[in-house]
Amino acid sequence: MAEAVKLPAEFLARIRETPITDALGGRLPLKKRGGRLVGLCPFHNEKTPSFGVQTEANRFFCFGCHKAGDVIDIVQHFDGLDFREAVEHLAGLAGLEMPTEALTEAQQRAETERKVALRCIDAATEWWSGELYRSINAGHRELRRRGIDRKAGEAWRLGWAPVSWDGLTSHLQRLGFSGGDGVRAGVLVEKDGRVYDRFRGRLMFPISDRRGRVIGAGGRQLEDDGTTAKYINTPATALYDKGRALYGLDRAVSGLRSLKRVVVVEGYFDVITPAEAELPGHVSPCGTSITAGHFGELRRLDLPVVLLLDGDAAGMKAARKALRVALAAGVYPLLATLPDGKDPDDIVRDDGAGALAAVLSDARPLLDIVIGEYAARREEPGALGEASALLASVEPVRRARLAGELARVFQVDGRVVRGAISGKEGPSGAVSGPARPPEASSGAQAGDGLERDLLRLLLHQSPEQWRAGIEACAGMLSPDGSAAAAALARAQDGAGMSALDEPGVPSLAREVLALVQADPIPAEMVPRQLRSILALLRLRSLEPLPPADGLSDLELLRLAKRQAERGHEEVALRRMV
């Protein structure tokens, strides 16, 4: 598909010249301060500005949430778009045509068919919407029973597929679409040389992508005939992938700036009814359990994810399964449980939006809940292994905290847990005392490149990882390095950009910020480089390095050997080598 084609570098360079202020179109108030623009971050709640745009480099950075990048990145974050969608949006602003010369003939044909399919399914959605209110039918009565008036029905583009084999087929033909177009859009079926309507006698729910374009549909049967499924969905098409599509996602994206969380529910009405009661931000998988693809879409929203499930045994089983999928996708969901026999639609209609809000306010981190379950089973064989295996997909800072908690609860050495997580055997025995911290020394060179690189790498991490990293380096930084780290920390803790302009703040702090904005490090490279820098700092705290820090790998190993001979095996060998 066209999305898989690499766009020409020259074209992307022109796109990246679009000023960030133009791309946001006045949607984010910014004030000029020196050579940068400063304002409240659009990606997290704050009262003191920590978001800045370097106008000369046309890049942005936030001290509060560590979002950073260029004009394409900010459009992706701000509008919830993927890379190609953001480029298309910026190309439109700049009056540029998306390049097609990079496409093969087959790719151009597929792209053309995809655009036709988008128009076709949108036309089908319009027809279903018109049929819903053309006369009193089962769909109309169902919406009225649920308290969904015509205004809301039209806003959600709900529809009715009449009990007819060719109603939609004939309508699409009149509009100039072929039977093949309807089949490729997923709204018609071709069998034995005959084309006919896929959905008949069903209340219709159009399913949109994050940009609000209809890509599929779900149909609910209201009068059970005992022969067909209650729900059917569009099959897999070039537009629709049930492993990624989420009903209500477009609404969540459009209201992104005002949402505090996104809630995953199980049904179409569980999305619609809360939203109509001014409790937005609910989404639902369409005819499938939640997948890694769904969590990938949710992760792009950069909001807390709440799974709203039944509180019975079946609900907890589903929650545990979802947790493993979520962790693999880098998402740490919360869990809120429903009262017995009620779904979100019932709660809002029976008890009001406040009752559902109260349920959601009790949401707790699902990982902590599941780890607590394992802890309650600590006497059972295999419980520690199962709990440790669950942590293998958890990011390092959170994993270290939970591993320590497991070691305490199961009364084992922390290395046992770490070994179980990595799949290697650790030493047996009771919990040992805390490991001896590296000894501090005055070997740091003020404002050296090692400290600059450390702070630069840490600013690519989450605020939680930043704080953990700075704590891990306590006593290993020079006075300038410590002061720069403190100023950057104040900037993140609420002081915002002004923290860098305070008297006495070393230029190192501003240098680090400029590097992050102008030359970001690819995310996949950060952990490895960070481990290397930390290893060097730990070694330097034990024995001062030459001022240039110009050690070869062989010299580092020799230094590690000397440290080991002096009794520092834990630091010099296990942590570095």
Helix pair angle (526-542, 463-472), 10° resolution = 20
Question: Can you tell me the distance from the alpha carbon of 542 to that of 65, in angstroms, rounded to the nearest whole number?
Answer: 33
Query: Do the Cβ atoms of 325 and 290 come closer than 8 Å?
Result: yes
On whether residue 529 sits in a domain, the answer given is yes
Query: Are residue 47 and residue 111 in the same domain, yes or no?
Result: no
On whether residue 413 sits in a domain, the answer given is no
Torsion of CA 123, 125, 126, 130, to 10 degrees: 140
Q: What is the pLDDT, as a whole number, of residue 539?
A: 63
CATH code for the domain of 341: 3.40.1360.10
Q: What is the pLDDT, as a whole number, of residue 562?
A: 56
Q: What is the pLDDT, as a whole number, of residue 10?
A: 87
Q: What is the pLDDT, as a whole number, of residue 456?
A: 80
Question: Can you tell me the distance from the alpha carbon of 331 to that of 206, in angstroms, rounded to the nearest whole number?
Answer: 27
Q: Which residues contact 393 (CB under 8 A, 6 or more apart)?
A: 324, 327, 328
Query: Are residue 40 and residue 89 in the same domain, yes or no?
Result: yes
Q: Among 329, 351, 373, which residue terminates a domain?
A: 351
Query: Are residue 468 and residue 554 in the same domain, yes or no?
Result: yes
Q: What is the pTM of this model?
A: 0.68
On whether residue 387 sits in a domain, the answer given is no
CATH code for the domain of 53: 3.90.580.10
Query: Do the Cβ atoms of 129 and 158 come closer than 8 Å?
Result: yes
The enclosing H or E element of 194 equals: strand 194-197
Structure tokens at 23: 């791309």
Query: Are residue 114 and residue 174 in the same domain, yes or no?
Result: yes
Q: What is the pLDDT, as a whole number, of residue 386?
A: 85
Q: Which residues contact 365 (CB under 8 A, 6 or more apart)?
A: 332, 333, 334, 335
On whether residue 408 sits in a domain, the answer given is no
Question: Can you tell me the distance from the alpha carbon of 374 to that of 268, in angstroms, rounded to the nearest whole number?
Answer: 34
Query: Are residue 458 and residue 528 in the same domain, yes or no?
Result: yes
Structure tokens at 569: 């095996």
The enclosing H or E element of 206 equals: strand 202-208
Tens of pLDDT, residues 97-136? 888 766 677 878 888 899 999 999 999 999 999 999 988 8
On whether residue 239 sits in a domain, the answer given is no
Structural domain for 59, as ranges: 2-94
Query: Are residue 213 and residue 171 in the same domain, yes or no?
Result: yes
Query: Are residue 257 and residue 225 in the same domain, yes or no?
Result: no
Query: Are residue 120 and residue 88 in the same domain, yes or no?
Result: no
CATH code for the domain of 124: 3.90.980.10
Backbone angles phi, psi at 82, to 5 degrees: -85, 180
Of 240, 113, 124, 218, nearest to 173 by C-alpha is 124
Structure tokens at 491: 């900037």
Interior/surface letters 244-264, b for 16+ CB within 10 angstroms, e for the rest: bbbbbbbbbbbebeebebbbb
Query: Are residue 89 and residue 8 in the same domain, yes or no?
Result: yes
Q: What is the pLDDT, as a whole number, of residue 107?
A: 77
Q: Which residues contact 43 (CB under 8 A, 6 or more apart)?
A: 51, 62, 65, 67, 77, 78, 302
On whether residue 399 sits in a domain, the answer given is no
Q: What is the pLDDT, as a whole number, of residue 477?
A: 78
Torsion of CA 541, 545, 551, 553, to 10 degrees: -30
Q: Among 335, 351, 367, which residue terminates a domain?
A: 351
Backbone angles phi, psi at 92, to 5 degrees: -65, -40
Q: Among 172, 201, 233, which residue terminates a domain?
A: 233
Number of domains into which the chain is organized: 4
Helix pair angle (449-458, 526-542), 10° resolution = 140
Query: Are residue 144 and residue 82 in the same domain, yes or no?
Result: no
Query: Are residue 206 and residue 115 in the same domain, yes or no?
Result: yes
Of 1, 14, 12, 68, nearest to 512 by C-alpha is 68
Q: Which residues contact 7 (CB under 8 A, 6 or more apart)?
A: 84, 87, 98, 99, 102
Query: Are residue 18 and residue 57 in the same domain, yes or no?
Result: yes
Q: Can you give the three-state secondary structure of 71-93, one letter per residue? A: HHHHHHHHHCCCHHHHHHHHHHH
On whether residue 358 sits in a domain, the answer given is no
Q: What is the mean pLDDT of each run of 10 residues along the chain (577 residues)?
A: 63 90 81 83 80 86 83 84 85 83 76 92 97 90 93 96 94 96 96 94 94 94 80 93 94 81 95 95 93 89 91 91 89 92 92 94 92 87 84 75 82 80 53 34 47 80 72 75 82 68 79 72 72 70 46 53 49 41
Residue in this structure with the two tokens 């950057």, named with its chain if needed: 488
